[in-house]
Chains A and B, each alone.
Chain A
Amino acid sequence: MISIKNLGFSYTKKQQPLFHQLDCELQAGSIAGLLGKNGAGKTTLLKLMIGLLFPTEGQVSIMGHQPAKREPSLLQDIYFLPEEFYIPGISMAKYVKANAGFYPRFDQDLLKRLISDFELPETKSLQKLSYGQKKKFLISFALSTKCRLLVLDEPTNGLDIPSKGIFRKVLAGSLDEDQLVIISTHQVRDVENLIDRVLMLENGRFIMQKDLFDISSQLNFSTASSAEGENVLYSEMVPGGYRVITPQTNGNSNVDIELLFNAISHGTEKMKAYVQ
């Protein structure tokens, strides 16, 4: 669905390139998590994927088309939910009437269900809603477009605790096989168990791109009383002992994405070798 080859990008010519020789392939039927520290370039990469920014080098291709050309036939199949958004002071019904037409696969019934799942109130003006409610409305709208590519930039920011759970449920329950969702976040816990592929961005390059299932069959995440041991690839002190990563010997372990992120970000070369 998405194919990025040799992508380079810089905002100005004088500046050091933000990205250099990035490669990435993503398939439909997946929910990918784009993780990285603040300022790692997550949003810039998302904008390059959907044609809001143009690559300085290399190529981005979505379903065989270049997003930078902004062909309507492609744009009607892409929905981008930005982290910072503007929402006009009109009713939900008017907003939907004005915007749903751009998306041929728009599902009105799904929208109704999501609005009720998120317990959004009827309102004369969307601007009267709280930030979190606006966000929940836009998430509902995004899913209802049924676009083949959904790009959500920090979707759980501003959501209260129960809403984060509802977000996971509605996302897991309303996607089709032919859709790809990319979620950027720095709050890993919000998307744990929801994403099936992890992309980690640091210093302008991917430090990891892997299916979670493959990680779980290569690495073991456990709590131990000691951080010592020949096999320990990475450890962190936690209440009750140490969270440790060791090579997987048999079976599968639950992947602690937060620990994995820290391990790859600060860890040893041996650790990095495991995820390359």
Chain B
Amino acid sequence: MEFQNGKSIFLQIADTITDKVVSGEFPAGEKIPSVRELAAEMGVNPNTIMRTYSELQAMNIIENQRGIGYFVNPEAQHIILKSKKEDFFNKVLPEVLKQADLLGITSSELKKHLDNLNSAS
């Protein structure tokens, strides 16, 4: 697996896991791969995976059942969507607006696209 530049690897792996939780590949309440299994699958240092799991645990996305393994928190999808929305409003949207401003795009031009947002799906 190739990693993008920028973000620390343990956070990139956390993103991969949250994506799998959102997509349902890792269903709520189910067990996820162990630290060693994921390390082997990705060819990444087990201590890095450990850090990813601690981070996800701190965010209440997964929980550790001592001696059994890590499980997806039943509320995980909800928590992930909430944090991704926050990210969208705090980071993604301001960047889009900044770009639009630079290119001289008016709010009425943008509005046409915004109006399509929910009808499209």
Contact = CB atoms under 8 A, between A and B. Distances in A.
- Same complex for A and B? Answer yes
A139 to B, nearest CB: 14
A170 B7 contact: no
A222 B44 contact: no
Given A173-B39, A174-B40, A195 B8 contact: no
Nearest to B47: A196
A227 B12 CA distance: 26
Contacts of A254: 3-9, 12
B45 interface: yes
Interface majority SS on B: helix, strand, loop or mixed?
helix
A180 to B, nearest CB: 12
Interface string A240-276: 0000000000011111100000000000000000000
B43 A168 contact: yes
- Sort chain B's interface into a size bin: 20 to 34
Nearest to B41: A169
Contact of B3 (A173, A193, A195, A213): A193
Contact of A172 (B3, B5, B11, B46): B46
Contacts of A172: 39-40, 42-46
Contacts of B60: none
A30 interface: yes
Given A173-B36, A173-B37, A174-B40, A31 B8 contact: no
Contacts of B39: 172-173
A20 B50 CA distance: 36
A165 B43 contact: yes
Contacts, number: 67
A175 interface: yes
A194 B8 contact: no
A251 B45 contact: no
Contacts of A196: 45, 47-48
B51 interface: yes
A254 B4 CA distance: 9
18 contacts: A29-B47, A165-B43, A169-B40, A175-B46, A193-B9, A193-B43, A194-B43, A195-B45, A196-B45, A213-B10, A223-B5, A251-B11, A252-B10, A253-B6, A254-B3, A254-B5, A254-B6, A254-B7
Given A30-B47, A254-B8, 15 more contacts: A167-B43, A168-B43, A169-B40, A169-B43, A172-B43, A175-B46, A193-B9, A193-B42, A193-B45, A194-B43, A196-B45, A196-B47, A196-B48, A222-B5, A252-B11
Interface of A: 29-31, 165, 167-175, 193-196, 213, 216, 221-223, 251-256
